[in-house]
Amino acid sequence: MKKPFHIIFVTALILSLTTPAFATELTARDIIKKVDDLLRGDSAHSVMEMTIINPRWQRTLKMESWEVGRKKTLVRILHPKKEEGVGSLKIDYQMWNYLPRVERVIKIPPSMMMSSWMGSDFTNDDLVKESSIVEDYTHELEGEVELEGVKAYKIVAIPKEHAPVVWGRLVFFVRVDDYVPLRQEYFSERGEMVRYLDFQEIKKMGRRILPTVWEMVPLNKKGKKTVVRMVDIEFDLPIDDNIFTLRNLKKWP
């Protein structure tokens, strides 16, 4: 006896929705985009402490930042008194620094995007995130590895031709369970690892599970590193466009 057509159709539909063969696996680019979205959001407002550590000394800066997508970022130093009010503004591909002690705004040329920010191991590019780890690279998933007892995806990112980046290669380690980044390695065009960024103290902040401590270690400077600790952060909130202006950059206090 032939089954009615509608029964056959419904059965086929159910099977198509439940059969594992039809499940979509994430690509390496998908995973990196999840990392980028997790750390960024559509907008963000945060307070951070940055500790710059040298073999002979260390200092800590307290900072506040506002960010909208990749196009607009403002970072302001709140403490110590010596650097209070120093600010960095990024709009699209342009960046300016403000030095309140001399009441001067300095435009940062593209050639200085890889220069150190405030003597730290983070660069101007790191601070304002000019290059995009999603759009400026091709990504390859090299499989799963264990990183300090945690299962992680290992993803290699190679810069696209003519992309505005300086790294010859980036390697990402991303926690399998929830796509939280664990480590990022930076390689020169000659294939030498130059520095690495460890993500630590993963915990819930607001509605997100995030690494709240970022430790950047340069391999050519023994005993030197920079540690950023997230004090507070809010994502996807309305931010006034007037924050991202040269007038506001110079407005301190």
Higher-confidence position of 22 and 227 = 227
For the stretch 223-234, pLDDT in tens is: 999 999 999 999
- Average the pLDDT over each of 2-11, 25-34, 167-176, 213-222 and give the range with the smallest value: 2-11
pLDDT tens column, 108-119: 998 888 899 999
Token readout for 20 is 């594992």
Burial of 209 from C-beta contacts in 10 A (0-12 / 13-18 / 19+): middle
Domain-wise residue ranges, the chain: 24-249
Residue 213 to residue 229: CA distance in whole angstroms? 5
Q: What is the CATH architecture of 24-249?
A: Clam (2.50)
- The span from the CA of 151 to the CA of 173, in Å, is 9
Query: Predicted confidence band at 12 (pLDDT cuts at 50, 70, 90)?
Result: very low
Question: What are the φ and ψ backbone dihedral angles of 151, each rounded to 5 degrees?
Answer: -70, 130
Determine what percent of the chain is predicted with pLDDT higher than 90: 75
Q: How confident is the model at residue 47, as a pLDDT? A: 97
Alpha helices in the chain (DSSP H): 5-18, 28-40, 124-128, 246-249
Q: Measured between alpha carbons, how far is 167 from 194 in angstroms, rounded to an integer?
A: 9
